[in-house]
Structure 1
Amino acid sequence: MVTRRRMLQGAGTLALLAPFAKGFGNETPQNVAQVAQQEHAKPTGDDYVPVTDPLVKQKLAQWSDWKFGIILHWGIYSVLGIVESWTLCSGDWIKRPGGVGYVEWKQRYEQLRTKFNPVKFDPAKWAQAAHAAGMRYLVFTTKHHDGFCMFDTAQTGYRVTAPDVPYHASPRANIAKAVFDAFRRRDFGIGAYFSKADWHHPDYWSPLWAMPTRNNNYDVGKYPEMWKRFVDFTHAQINELTTQYGGLDLMWLDAGWVNANGHPDAKAYSSDVPWAQDIDMPGLAAIARRNQPGIVLVDRDVSGPYENYRTPEQAVPDQPLPYPWETCMTMGGSWSWNPHDKYKSPRELVHTLVGIVAKGGNLLLGVGPQPDGELPAGALDRLQAIGAWMRVNGPAIHGSRAIAPYGEDKFRFTRGRDGSVNAIYLVDEGEQEPPASVTLRSFKPVQGAKLQVLGAGGELAWRQRDDGIHVELPEAVRRQLAASPAWTLRISAVRS
Structure 2
Amino acid sequence: MTKKLLLSLLIGCCSILSYAQRNDIVQQSTTYEWPKDPLVKEKLETWQDKKFGMIIHWGLYAVPGIIESWTLCSEDWIERDSTISYDDYKKWYWDFSKQFNPTKFNPEQWSAAGKRAGMKYLVFTTKHHDGFAMFDTKQSDFSIAKGPFASNPKADVAKYVFDAFRKDGFMIGAYFSKPDWHSQYYWWQKYATADRNNNYDIKKYPWRWNKFKDFTYNQISELMHNYGSVDILWLDGGWVRPLETVNEEVLSWGANIPKWSQDIDMPKIASMARNAQPGLLMVDRTVHGPYENYQTPEQRIPEKQLDYPWESCMTLGGAWGFVPNDQYKSAAEVVHKLVEIVAKGGSLLLGVGPKPDGTLPTEVTNQLNEIGKWTSKNGKAIYNTRITKDYHDGQFWFTQSKDAKKKFAIYCLKQDEANIKAVKWKGSFPKKGTEIILLSTGKKVKWQIVNGETVLSLSNIEKSAALAFEFTPQ
TM over 0.5: yes
CA contact (8 A) 1:358 1:413 kept: yes
What 5-or-longer segments of structure 2 have no aligned partner? none
Residue 252 in structure 1 maps to residue 234 in structure 2 = yes
Which of 54, 71, 81 is matched with 1:70 structurally? 54
Q: Which residue in the other structure is 2:392 paired with? A: 407
Amino acid at match of 1:218: Y
Determine the C-alpha separation between the residues in 2 that align with 1:455 and 1:265.
Answer: 44
Determine the C-alpha separation between the residues in 2 that align with 1:69 and 1:494.
Answer: 29
Q: Which residue in the other structure is 1:378 paired with? A: 363
Equivalent residue runs for 1:89-488 within 5 Å = 89-162=73-146, 165-260=147-242, 261-263=244-246, 271-417=256-402, 419-433=405-419, 435-473=420-458, 475-476=459-460, 478=461, 481=462, 483-488=463-468
Determine the C-alpha separation between the residues in 2 that align with 1:203 and 1:84.
Answer: 21
CA contact (8 A) 1:140 1:191 kept: yes
Tell me how far 1:462 sits from its aligned partner: 1.9
**1:77-110 C-alpha deviation (Å, 9 max, x unpaired):** 1100011111111234212234111001111111
Give 3-state SS (helix, strand or coil) of 2:125's partner: strand
Tell me how far 1:484 sits from its aligned partner: 0.5
Determine the C-alpha separation between the residues in 1 that align with 2:276 and 2:116.
Answer: 31
**1:240-281 C-alpha deviation (Å, 9 max, x unpaired):** 100000000000000000011353657865633111100100
CA contact (8 A) 1:120 1:372 kept: yes
Tell me how far 1:23 sits from its aligned partner: 1.5
Give 3-state SS (helix, strand or coil) of 2:397's partner: strand
Tell me how far 1:39 sits from its aligned partner: 6.2
Amino acid at match of 2:158: A
Change (3 A) 1:331 1:102: same
Determine the C-alpha separation between the residues in 1 that align with 2:238 and 2:6.
Answer: 32
Q: Which residue in the other structure is 2:473 paired with? A: 494
Q: Provide the identity percentage.
A: 45
Determine the C-alpha separation between the residues in 2 that align with 1:28 and 1:458.
Answer: 49
Determine the C-alpha separation between the residues in 2 that align with 1:448 and 1:143.
Answer: 55
Amino acid at match of 2:16: T
CA contact (8 A) 1:262 1:275 kept: no
CA contact (8 A) 1:313 1:329 kept: yes
Residue 87 in structure 1 maps to residue 71 in structure 2 = yes
Determine the C-alpha separation between the residues in 2 that align with 1:118 and 1:266.
Answer: 39
CA contact (8 A) 1:326 1:361 kept: yes
Tell me how far 1:323 sits from its aligned partner: 2.0
Q: Runs (4+) of structure 1 moved beyond 4 Å?
A: 29-32, 37-42, 264-270
Determine the C-alpha separation between the residues in 2 that align with 1:232 and 1:129.
Answer: 37
Give 3-state SS (helix, strand or coil) of 2:161's partner: helix
Tell me how far 1:19 sits from its aligned partner: 4.8
Q: Which residue in the other structure is 2:9 paired with? A: 23
Give 3-state SS (helix, strand or coil) of 2:448's partner: strand
Determine the C-alpha separation between the residues in 2 that align with 1:69 and 1:31.
Answer: 23
**1:407-457 C-alpha deviation (Å, 9 max, x unpaired):** 111111110235211111100111122x22222321222233111111223
Determine the C-alpha separation between the residues in 1 that align with 2:279 and 2:119.
Answer: 22
RMSD between aligned residues: 2.0
- Bigger mean CA deviation after superposition, 379-388 or 256-265: 256-265
Give 3-state SS (helix, strand or coil) of 1:363's partner: strand
CA contact (8 A) 2:311 2:348 kept: yes
Amino acid at match of 1:60: L
Determine the C-alpha separation between the residues in 1 that align with 2:342 and 2:351.
Answer: 17
Determine the C-alpha separation between the residues in 1 that align with 2:316 and 2:145.
Answer: 29
Change (3 A) 1:458 1:290: same
Tell me how far 1:209 sits from its aligned partner: 1.1
What 5-or-longer segments of structure 1 have no aligned partner? 1-15
Tell me how far 1:160 sits from its aligned partner: 0.8
CA contact (8 A) 2:26 2:296 kept: no
Change (3 A) 1:17 1:210: closer
Q: Which residue in the other structure is 1:8 paired with? A: none
CA contact (8 A) 2:122 2:170 kept: yes
Give 3-state SS (helix, strand or coil) of 1:183's partner: helix
Determine the C-alpha separation between the residues in 1 that align with 2:451 and 2:62.
Answer: 59
Tell me how far 1:301 sits from its aligned partner: 1.0
Determine the C-alpha separation between the residues in 2 that align with 1:22 and 1:467.
Answer: 63
CA contact (8 A) 1:266 1:273 kept: no
Give 3-state SS (helix, strand or coil) of 2:166's partner: helix
- Bigger mean CA deviation after superposition, 448-457 or 394-403: 448-457
TM-score by length of 1: 0.90
Residue 50 in structure 1 maps to residue 29 in structure 2 = no
Give 3-state SS (helix, strand or coil) of 2:202's partner: coil
